[in-house]
Homo-oligomer: A and B are copies of this chain.
């Protein structure tokens, strides 16, 4: 005699035992048949398949996850969900996830440590099978909880202190260098550099690379004024506008991320200055508008789709074999010269 109305008023959903009964076999056999984890006779297989259809059975992921101690969930933790760069990254990861029958859990830290901490805790609590993360801070982000929980973790876009697992990042020093060399070659010495957000390793590296290239050049007496800050697009616009109104205004601007590029472009547009005759603009990341504006934006680009794909595939591999040697992939940026960068013109 079983009690009937015990738990919440749940709707009836077929369980594995219902399938077993319908097929006249045991639950173990049904499980084996459905997961392919053991040999099952052809005639039983047939009966089970019919029973699955008849009962409209869908395996319960929660029960399965509890038993397996691992859910079919990947977390993707990014610092800014609206940034087209991350959208592209997420999109690439999603493609692989879908292929692997994994569900993508999206977390947006908004560059905030507290949120990141919470999300990592969530991933652990839900026993996710993987985490791909663009950390909020190189110094302060803490991935140890993931390590302890033995959740495969791939660090993308930004480095983290104290993490030695898989990582897929850009050669950001090279990105900064590429930018500087391009502007140097065009004769620019008075440059406004916009860098941010300050806690990201990408920011730091681009800044270092950019500065180093200038200091190593013949042209030592340059007058770069670089802002390494946490401003967003609209503030970048204000800062740029201010710089353009100054007496000794820059002849070129280098914006080290997508949002800053937009702010800079807008400010220049509003200033009425001619581009690139009066001022050059070199942006970062191939945002959709880069090729729609006139003049079209010259940029330093990243192979972001590849980064996402590689990171996701790495997750798959590490789940198959946790012992594989950590991957430390560093991809190369590219300079795409369009119309906003030109020789200095007095």
Query: A: which residues have CB within 8 A of B?
Result: 7-8, 10-11, 13, 58-63, 65-66, 68-69, 71, 73, 81-82, 84, 87-88, 90-91, 94, 98, 103-108, 115, 121-122, 124-127, 148-150, 262, 265-266, 269, 287-289, 292-294
Contact = CB atoms under 8 A, between A and B. Distances in A.
Contacts of A84: 84, 288
A190 to B, nearest CB: 25
Nearest to A126: B61
Give the number of times this chain occurs in the complex, counting copies.
2
A149 B61 CA distance: 14
Nearest to A258: B288
A11 B149 contact: yes
Given A61-B122, A84-B288, 20 more contacts: A8-B69, A10-B150, A13-B149, A58-B124, A60-B125, A62-B66, A73-B105, A81-B94, A82-B87, A82-B91, A87-B87, A94-B106, A98-B107, A98-B115, A104-B106, A104-B107, A262-B288, A288-B289, A289-B292, A292-B292
A84 B122 CA distance: 27
Contacts of A126: 61-62, 103
A127 B62 contact: yes
A191 to B, nearest CB: 22
A59 B124 CA distance: 10
Contacts of A269: 292, 294
B108 A61 contact: no
Contacts of A94: 81, 106, 108
A293 B121 CA distance: 43
B108 A105 contact: no
A293 B177 CA distance: 29
7 contacts: A59-B125, A81-B87, A84-B288, A103-B107, A105-B106, A262-B288, A289-B292
A98 B108 contact: yes
A106 B78 CA distance: 14
A140 to B, nearest CB: 20
A175 B127 CA distance: 45
A123 to B, nearest CB: 9
Contacts of A73: 105
A73 B150 CA distance: 22
Given A103-B105, A124-B58, A69 B293 contact: no
Contacts of A292: 262, 265-266, 269, 289, 292-293
Nearest to A322: B9
A61 B128 CA distance: 10
A292 B66 CA distance: 51
Contacts of A149: 11, 13
A258 to B, nearest CB: 10
Contacts of A124: 58
A249 to B, nearest CB: 22
A104 B103 contact: no
B107 A10 contact: no
A287 B289 CA distance: 9
Contacts of A294: 269, 293-294
Contacts of A69: 7-8, 10
A7 B67 CA distance: 9
